[in-house]
Amino acid sequence: MTRTFIVGGNWKMNGSQSTVKDLVAMLNNANLDKNVEVVVAPPSLYIPSVISTLKAGEVAGQNIYAESKGAFTGEISAEMLKDVGAKWVIIGHSERRHVFKEDDKVIAKKVKHALDVGLKVIYCVGETLADREGNQTTAVVFSQLQAVASEIKDWSNVVIAYEPVWAIGTGKVATPDQAQEVHKEIREWIKKNVSPQAADAIRIQYGGSVNSGNCKEIGMKPDVDGFLVGGASLKPEFVDIVNAQQ
C-alpha cells in the first residue's frame, strides 16, 4: 500500500500574531510537494487566524481535554477545536506525558474522545533515554499503543508519531536505522493486535530533532511515513522537510 507522506509542524508555546502571520505566509508562498500532507499545530489562541489564512495545509490543536465541556479552567475541548475548523489534534506528546504528568490511561481517553468528535489524531509514543539504555524501548511503546487499543477499534483516523524523548529538542537524533527499527516494530504490533489492513494503512511519523540535514535519509526508510517537527517548524527549513522526498 502507498501511504501519503505526512509532515506535522508542532509550534508548541511559541509565536505572536506577527510571527504566526509570517509563518503562514512562508508556507502559502512555498513550493511544497503536492504529494505530502501538511498539518501545523499553532498555540490555541492563534488557531482561528491560521485556519482562516493557511492555504498550504490543515490545522491541529496541540492538546485537548477528554470532556466536552464543564468546569475545567484553562482547558479546551475537541468540540471547540472542531467548531473553529481544526481537523487534527496532537495527543500524548512527550511534554504532556513528562512535564504535565499525563499517563497512558488519560491520554488514551483523549484519543477516543477526539475520534468520537470527528477529529483526526496524531498520537505520540516514545521512550526516554533510560528506557532505551535499559532495552525497554518496545515495552514502553507497546504499552502506550495498548492503552489506545483498549479504547478504540478503528485506527483509520490515527497517525502514530514515534518520538524518542531523548531526541526531542536536544539536537540528538535517532539514526535512520534506529528510527526504522522502531517504526517496523510499531507496524508489526498493529498487525498483530489490530489487523494486517490497519498495519498496512497506518502512517508512522518520526519526531525528534528533525531538520533539513537529516530528513531525506530518515524519510527514505520504508516504515517512515513522515515527520512531526518541533523547533524546525518555526523556520524556513520546514519547507525542506516537507519536500524531503523530492
Q: Reduced to 3 states, what is the DSSP secondary structure of residue 125?
A: strand
Instruction: Report strand pairing: 36-41 vs 5-10.
Output: parallel
163 is catalytic: yes
C-alpha grid cell, residue 237: 527549513
The one-letter amino acid at 40 = V
Yes or no: say if 82 and 118 are a contact pair by the CB < 8 Å rule: yes
Partners of 88 in beta bridges? 60, 120
Dist. CA 219–CA 192, nearest whole Å: 25
Nearest in space to 159 (alpha carbons), one of 191, 200, 192, 123: 123
Dist. CA 162–CA 160, nearest whole Å: 6
Question: Which residue among 37, 95, 127, 163 is the active-site one?
Answer: 163
Residues in the chain: 246
Question: Which residue among 93, 113, 127, 183 is the active-site one?
Answer: 93
Query: Which residues does the annotation mark as catalytic?
Result: 93, 163
